[in-house]
Amino acid sequence: MQDEVYSDGIAEITITGPIVRIDLMSLSPAERDANNNPKPAFRQRIVMPVDAFANSVELMQRVVKGLIEAGAIKPNSAASGDTGQAPADSAPPNLATRSRNFSPNFTS
């Protein structure tokens, strides 16, 4: 039997030298925020070299393209030129509601 890990998304991606760390999160069934939304909770970390990360991203992009072409998902704002960075005057995004990663590693 192989282990499986469920994740509601990626909470953080950290790059340190040649190593990429991807923190997976899921929504807590017990902890709630002030608006009664489930709080994100760290679940597991994937650690890989940057070249493996780049290859993984390329593979995921091909899968997303296939899902869009099949009509399983709709293209998000990234396809229309969104840089993935939060506006300078906005509050930090809520992990429970955001759909894209906004790592501080890539903000200016």
Residue type present at position 33:
D
pTM of the shown model = 0.65
- CA–CA distance, 23 with 41 (Å, rounded to integer): 10
C-alpha to C-alpha distance for 32 and 17, rounded to whole angstroms: 35
Query: Does pLDDT of 105 surpass 90?
Result: no
Question: How far is Cα 37 from Cα 40, in angstroms, rounded to an integer?
Answer: 9
pLDDT tens per residue, range 87-101: 444 444 444 444 444
pLDDT of residue 17: 96
